[in-house]
Chain A
Amino acid sequence: MKNDVLLQSMQTACRRIPPLWPLKNFVAVNPFLGMADMPFAGAAGLMQRVGHGDILMPPSYYLKRLETGDIQDEDIIKACQQLERDGALKGLPEYDHRNVDGLVRYLKMSEGGQGQDPVLTVADWRDKNEGTAWSAFVVEEVSKWCSVYFDEGQSSWRMPWRGQSFYKAWREAARFDANPGLMGMGDFRKIVDGLSEDPMETIQMIMGILEVPEAGMTDFLHRQIMSVGGWGGYIQYRVRQAGMNGQEDTSLVEFLALRLVYDLVLFKGIKGKGWAQWKTQVAGMDAPQKMIPEASILCRLLAQQTLENSFQRRLFKGMAGCLGRQEETMSARKTLQAIFCIDVRSEIYRRNLEGRSAEIETIGFAGFFGIAVEYLPMGRRHGNVQCPVLLNPALTIRETLQDSSPGQDESMHRRLVFGQRIGAAWNAFKTSAVSCFPFVETVGLAYGVGLVQDSLRLHTSEKPGTCCGKPSTPQVSLVRKGHHHGHAHGFDTGIDDESKINMAAGALRNMGLTSGFARFVLICGHGSQTRNNPYGSGLDCGACGGHAGDVNARVAVALFNDLDVRVGLRKIDIHIPDDTVFLAGLHNTTTDDVHLFEDEVTQSADRALLETVRGWLDRASAVTRRERATRLGMQDQISHPRFDEKIRQRSKDWAQVRPEWGLAGNAAFIAAPRERTRGLNLQGRVFLHNYDVNLDPSGSVLELILCAPVVVASWINLQYYASTVNNRLFGSGNKVLHNVVGVLGVWQGNAGDLQTGLPMQSVHDGTRWMHEPLRLSVIIEASTESINVVLKKHPEVRALMDHGWLHLFAIKPGGGECFRYAGGYEWQSEEMDNAPADAAGVSEGASALAMV
Chain B
Amino acid sequence: MAFLPSRLLNAQGQASAKLGAGLGVISFVGALASALILVSEGTLAFRFLEWGPLSVGIYYDTLSAIILMLVSFLGAVVLRYSRQYMDGDPRQGGFTRWLCLTTGSVLCIVMSGNLVFFAVAWSATSLCLHKLLVFYPDRPGAMLAARKKFIISRLGDLCLLGVVILTYRQFHTWDFQQIFAAIPALSSSLYGAGGGTLTMLCLLIVTTALLKSAQFPFHSWLPDTMETPTPVSALMHAGIINAGGFLIVRLSPLVSLSPTALNTLAVFGAVTAIFASLVMLTHASVKRALAFSTVAQMGFMMLQCGLGAFSLAVLHLVAHSLYKAHAFLSSGSIVNMAKAAWTPPSRGSTRGTGILAGALIVAVGLVFIFSRVVGVGLVEKPGLWLLCSVFMMSLTYMVWNLWRHSMSTMMVAAGALMVAGVGAVYYVLHMVFEQLLGPALPVYAPGRSYVDYGLMLLLLVLFFGILLFQSLIPWWSRRTFFQALYVHARNGFYFNTLANRLTMQFWPVQTRNIKESSYEK
Q: In the complex, A747→B332 CA distance in Å?
A: 12
Q: A131 — which chain B residues lie within 8 A by C-beta?
A: 511
A424 interface hit (Cβ, 8 Å): yes
Interface string of B213-254 (1 = CB under 8 A from A): 000000000011011111100000000000000000000000
Assess the A424–B519 pair: CB atoms within 8 A: no
Interface residues of A in 176-229 (CB under 8 A from B): 176-179, 182-183
Q: A741 — which chain B residues lie within 8 A by C-beta?
A: 284-286
Assess the A148–B490 pair: CB atoms within 8 A: yes
Assess the B394–A429 pair: CB atoms within 8 A: yes
**A425/B398 contact (C-beta < 8 A), A655-B84, A751-B141 known:** yes
Tell me which of A296-304, A526-534, A564-572, A600-608 binds B.
Answer: A526-534
Q: In the complex, A198→B497 CA distance in Å?
A: 30
A812 interface hit (Cβ, 8 Å): no
Chain B residue nearest to A140 (CB atoms) is B141
B154 interface hit (Cβ, 8 Å): no
Q: B482 — which chain A residues lie within 8 A by C-beta?
A: 160
Q: In the complex, A50→B1 CA distance in Å?
A: 52
A442 interface hit (Cβ, 8 Å): yes
Q: In the complex, A156→B411 CA distance in Å?
A: 23
A441 interface hit (Cβ, 8 Å): yes
A740 interface hit (Cβ, 8 Å): yes
Chain B: minimal CB distance from A723 (Å): 12
Assess the B319–A440 pair: CB atoms within 8 A: yes
**A444/B318 contact (C-beta < 8 A), A436-B297, A657-B85, A743-B335 known:** yes
Assess the A738–B332 pair: CB atoms within 8 A: yes
Tell me which of A340-348, A397-405, A668-676, A757-765 binds B.
Answer: A757-765
A432 interface hit (Cβ, 8 Å): yes
Chain B: minimal CB distance from A429 (Å): 4
Chain B: minimal CB distance from A24 (Å): 6
Chain A: minimal CB distance from B471 (Å): 9
* Contact pick for B136, options A425, A532, A737, A747, CB 8 Å: A737
Assess the A750–B226 pair: CB atoms within 8 A: yes
Assess the A739–B316 pair: CB atoms within 8 A: no
**A182/B511 contact (C-beta < 8 A), A160-B478, A432-B397, A441-B319 known:** no
Assess the A182–B142 pair: CB atoms within 8 A: no
Interface string of B380-418 (1 = CB under 8 A from A): 000000000011011101110110011000110011001
Tell me which of B107-115, B173-181, B191-199, B274-282 binds A.
Answer: B274-282
Q: In the complex, A747→B402 CA distance in Å?
A: 33
Q: In the complex, A723→B426 CA distance in Å?
A: 50
Assess the B466–A433 pair: CB atoms within 8 A: yes
Assess the A424–B341 pair: CB atoms within 8 A: yes
**A421/B406 contact (C-beta < 8 A), A162-B477, A182-B494 known:** yes
Interface residues of B in 466-493 (CB under 8 A from A): 466-467, 470, 473-474, 476-478, 482-484, 486-491
Q: A158 — which chain B residues lie within 8 A by C-beta?
A: 473-474
Chain B: minimal CB distance from A278 (Å): 20
A618 interface hit (Cβ, 8 Å): no
B18 interface hit (Cβ, 8 Å): no
* Contact pick for A749, options B139, B297, B321, B326, CB 8 Å: B139
A334 interface hit (Cβ, 8 Å): no
Assess the A655–B81 pair: CB atoms within 8 A: yes
Assess the A447–B325 pair: CB atoms within 8 A: yes
Assess the A436–B296 pair: CB atoms within 8 A: yes
Chain B: minimal CB distance from A58 (Å): 9
Chain B: minimal CB distance from A152 (Å): 7
Q: B76 — which chain A residues lie within 8 A by C-beta?
A: 455
Assess the A438–B426 pair: CB atoms within 8 A: yes
Interface residues of B in 484-521 (CB under 8 A from A): 484, 486-491, 494, 497-498, 501, 511, 514, 516-517, 519-520
A491 interface hit (Cβ, 8 Å): no
Most chain-B CB neighbours within 10 Å: which of A162, A433, A443? A433
**A435/B322 contact (C-beta < 8 A), A728-B517, A766-B87 known:** no
Most chain-B CB neighbours within 10 Å: which of A153, A418, A739? A739
Assess the B332–A534 pair: CB atoms within 8 A: yes
Assess the B326–A766 pair: CB atoms within 8 A: no
Q: In the complex, A443→B288 CA distance in Å?
A: 22
B88 interface hit (Cβ, 8 Å): yes
B170 interface hit (Cβ, 8 Å): no
**A445/B286 contact (C-beta < 8 A), A423-B342, A433-B278 known:** no
**A424/B227 contact (C-beta < 8 A), A434-B394, A531-B333, A655-B85 known:** no
Q: How large is the interface on B (under 10, 10 to 19, 20 to 34, 35 or more residues)?
A: 35 or more
Q: B519 — which chain A residues lie within 8 A by C-beta?
A: 734, 760, 764, 766
Assess the B501–A451 pair: CB atoms within 8 A: no
Q: In the complex, A656→B145 CA distance in Å?
A: 27
**A428/B489 contact (C-beta < 8 A), A727-B516, A749-B142, A750-B145 known:** no
Assess the B226–A424 pair: CB atoms within 8 A: no
Interface residues of A in 419-477 (CB under 8 A from B): 420-429, 432-448, 450-452, 454-455, 462
Q: In the complex, A144→B286 CA distance in Å?
A: 13
Chain A: minimal CB distance from B212 (Å): 19
Assess the A440–B297 pair: CB atoms within 8 A: yes
B147 interface hit (Cβ, 8 Å): no
Interface residues of B in 302-334 (CB under 8 A from A): 312, 315-316, 318-323, 325-327, 329-334
* Contact pick for B488, options A176, A429, A454, A740, CB 8 Å: A176
Chain A: minimal CB distance from B275 (Å): 10
A95 interface hit (Cβ, 8 Å): no
Interface string of B423-435 (1 = CB under 8 A from A): 0011001100000
Chain A: minimal CB distance from B221 (Å): 11
Chain B: minimal CB distance from A129 (Å): 12
Chain B: minimal CB distance from A731 (Å): 9
Q: B488 — which chain A residues lie within 8 A by C-beta?
A: 176, 178
* Contact pick for A151, options B145, B224, B284, B393, CB 8 Å: B284
Interface residues of B in 80-97 (CB under 8 A from A): 80-90
Assess the B326–A454 pair: CB atoms within 8 A: yes
Assess the A157–B425 pair: CB atoms within 8 A: no
Q: In the complex, A532→B334 CA distance in Å?
A: 8
Assess the B517–A444 pair: CB atoms within 8 A: no
Chain A: minimal CB distance from B459 (Å): 11
Interface string of A327-361 (1 = CB under 8 A from B): 00000000000000000000000000000000000
Assess the A177–B281 pair: CB atoms within 8 A: no
Chain B: minimal CB distance from A629 (Å): 16
* Contact pick for B315, options A429, A441, A654, CB 8 Å: A441
Q: In the complex, A531→B286 CA distance in Å?
A: 17
Q: B335 — which chain A residues lie within 8 A by C-beta?
A: 23-24, 534, 536-537, 740, 743
Q: A420 — which chain B residues lie within 8 A by C-beta?
A: 340-342
B73 interface hit (Cβ, 8 Å): yes
Q: In the complex, A116→B134 CA distance in Å?
A: 34
Q: A432 — which chain B residues lie within 8 A by C-beta?
A: 394, 397, 467, 470
Q: A161 — which chain B residues lie within 8 A by C-beta?
A: 477, 483
Most chain-A CB neighbours within 10 Å: which of B84, B224, B284? B284
- New A-B contacts (16) at CB < 8 Å, excluding given A454-B330, A737-B226: A161-B477, A177-B491, A182-B498, A424-B402, A433-B274, A434-B393, A434-B467, A435-B398, A443-B422, A447-B323, A451-B73, A532-B331, A653-B84, A655-B329, A736-B230, A741-B284
Q: 20 interchain pairs (CB within 8 A)?
A: A151-B284, A178-B494, A183-B501, A422-B418, A424-B344, A426-B398, A426-B418, A433-B467, A438-B426, A441-B319, A441-B429, A444-B318, A444-B320, A455-B77, A534-B335, A736-B230, A737-B227, A740-B332, A750-B226, A766-B89
- Cβ-closest 4 pairs across A and B: A766-B88, A444-B319, A435-B394, A420-B342
Residues of B at the A interface (CB closer than 8 Å) are 73-74, 76-77, 80-90, 136, 139-142, 145, 223-224, 226-231, 273-274, 277-278, 280-289, 293, 296-297, 300, 312, 315-316, 318-323, 325-327, 329-336, 338-345, 390-391, 393-395, 397-399, 401-402, 405-406, 410-411, 414-415, 418, 422, 425-426, 429-430, 463, 466-467, 470, 473-474, 476-478, 482-484, 486-491, 494, 497-498, 501, 511, 514, 516-517, 519-520
